[in-house]
Amino acid sequence: MIRFEGKVAIVTGGGSGIGAATARRLASEGAAVVVADVDLGHAEAVAREIVAARRKAIAAAADVSKEADVVALVDRATCAFGALDVMVNNAGIGGVQGDIDEVPLEVWQQVIGVNLTGVFLGLKHAVRAMKAGGRKGAIVNVASILGHVGFAHAAAYTASKHGVIGLTQAAALELGPLGIRVVTVDPAFIRTPMIAGMEDGVIPLHPIGRLGMPEEVAAFIAFLASDEATFLTGASYLVDGGYVAR
């Protein structure tokens, strides 16, 4: 399928895991992709892979918790490719886990800064670019199953993902009249570097009996960002192997 021919996408956290799989998927379907990551080397590796497959991509360094970085990222996309049609706010961190009364404030602030403020900043500046270009765009925010349920010893992460879902709902109400859609994808535990070493403990939490793969989440993100999903906004979509149904 070539659903994104002539469209421009930014994927944050694009240097690994779900972000890398999403960048590859969107590019394979015709999008010009800006692969953004706090680790420029990882972003460049993914962009080179895409270009080697005769698709369009460039890399960019961005710490999404810093507004200046996000402004520069969106400017890079519009300067390089002329517009912005799709924003995938995927960058996220787990943070140090622990008892809620022992979590250092700086850990809380770091997790909220990347996982929630980073999504807000990506959304804010993507919308500005879409308005300026007269585009009816799609913004996909990657939340989590932990935006729907609690998880002990992960207070900051859980709060950040609940916040992403609320932010998405508010933004969808504002932006619907402009033709800009905003949704969340809410994965369970996916086989990515973020859960390295945790696999044996979390597989049993999924009724389907395995972890999800980044490519499975990327496929759903691509659908939600495409013109096949133009009636979908303000909603959250679980990609969770039955986790929340338990």
CA 153 to chain CA centroid, Å, is 23
What gap in Å lies between CA 59 and CA 98, rounded to an integer?
35
Residue 60's beta-bridge partner residues? 36
CB burial string 220-229: b at 16+ within 10 A, e below: bbbbbbbeeb
Biggest CA-to-CA distance, the chain: 51
User: CA-based angle 166:172:177, to the nearest 5?
Assistant: 160
Helix segments in 65-154, DSSP class H: 67-81, 105-112, 118-133
Q: What pTM was estimated for this model as a whole?
A: 0.97
What gap in Å lies between CA 146 and CA 150, rounded to an integer?
6
Active site residues: 157
| CA torsion angle 127 131 132 138 (round to 10) | 60
What gap in Å lies between CA 169 and CA 182, rounded to an integer?
8
Residue 197's pLDDT is what?
86
> Cβ(243)–Cβ(44) under 8 Å?
no
Residue count of the chain: 246
- What are the 10-residue block averages of pLDDT along the chain, 246 residues in total? 95 98 99 99 99 99 99 98 98 90 95 99 99 96 98 96 99 98 98 86 95 98 98 99 95
Residue 145's pLDDT is what?
97
